[in-house]
Amino acid sequence: MGNIFAIGGELSVRRLGFGTGGLAGPGYWGPRHDDPQRSVALLRRAVERGVTLIDTADNYGPDVAEELVARALHPYPDGLVIATKGGVVRTGPDLWHIAGRPDDLRAMCEASLRRLRTDTLDLYQLHRLDPQVPMADQLGTLTELQQAGKIRHIGLDSVSAAELTQAQQLAPIASVQNRYNLLDRAAEDVLELCEKRGTAFLPWSPLGNGALVEDAGTALATVAAVAARHGATPGQIALAWLLHRSPVLLPTPGTGSPAHLDENLAAAGIALTDGDMAQLDALA
């Protein structure tokens, strides 16, 4: 199991990254912590612990997460890859509106550049394809921004295998970010496509929004048994399974807790056996 992956064939990162959704408040609205220094310290701790992939989005907050990333980590150290997303407008907690018109995407990209205090976004992922706008127009806009030097690599979030296949004919797609975890493998066909093309797959909700560590019935008992053999937590086993499952999987779990951050990152050091994997694979 290699722990390094090159996004777009050139941006080498440690496969276990850090997601910043947990730095936003309930419903991804506002900041999680009243004192922003708590989030700043957490981001710095992640990088000090070896994280080289930070996954964020303009609509976490909105704006909050990107601004925290810049406040904590700018000027960015060599080798740190910042991935962000655009294409969704927020009007309140848990309220999301897809906005994929070319003018919208250009404005969102420029705003992310300002908040992140950079001239080029390492990885810019379209948070959702807009069904009201031709895919060619959306990806064409991102390609233009790439050619202008504002985006280094283009990614997609929450796409079907058919959409990914179509998108790959329109633009160089370096990453996909779909829901995928030990108990939810609906995106298995997308993962297979990513493996064939060497495309990074950043699984969101890698811990199933807590289901993998809280209440998953029989599955929880199985995960707990594997965890006990390794002196690990069920959450660590869920992350280790992703790292073992495919070399293109780059989980970026988020948290607002330093202790939970350390726990998550320690999952990279767990060596699951073939027997462990067979037990865990069978949970699908």
Residues with catalytic roles: 60
Helix 135-147 crosses helix 161-168 at what angle (to 10 degrees)?
Answer: 50
- Judged on CB neighbours under 10 Å (0-12, 13-18, 19+), 217 is exposed
Query: What backbone torsions phi and psi does residue 169 show, to the nearest 5 degrees?
Result: -85, -15
d(CA 92, CA 58): 14
Count of other CB atoms within 10 angstroms of residue 242: 23
Tokens describing residue 11:
């941006």
User: Tokens 């951050």, residue?
Assistant: 261
Tokens describing residue 1:
């199991």
Count of other CB atoms within 10 angstroms of residue 116: 23
Q: How far is CA 56 from CA 17, 100, 154, 182, 265, in A?
A: 11, 18, 14, 23, 18
Count of other CB atoms within 10 angstroms of residue 84: 30
- DSSP strand pairing (88-92 vs 81-86): unpaired
User: Tokens 């000027």, residue?
Assistant: 75
Helix 36-48 crosses helix 258-266 at what angle (to 10 degrees)?
Answer: 20
Torsion angle, CA of 177/118/20/167, rounded to 10 degrees?
Answer: -10
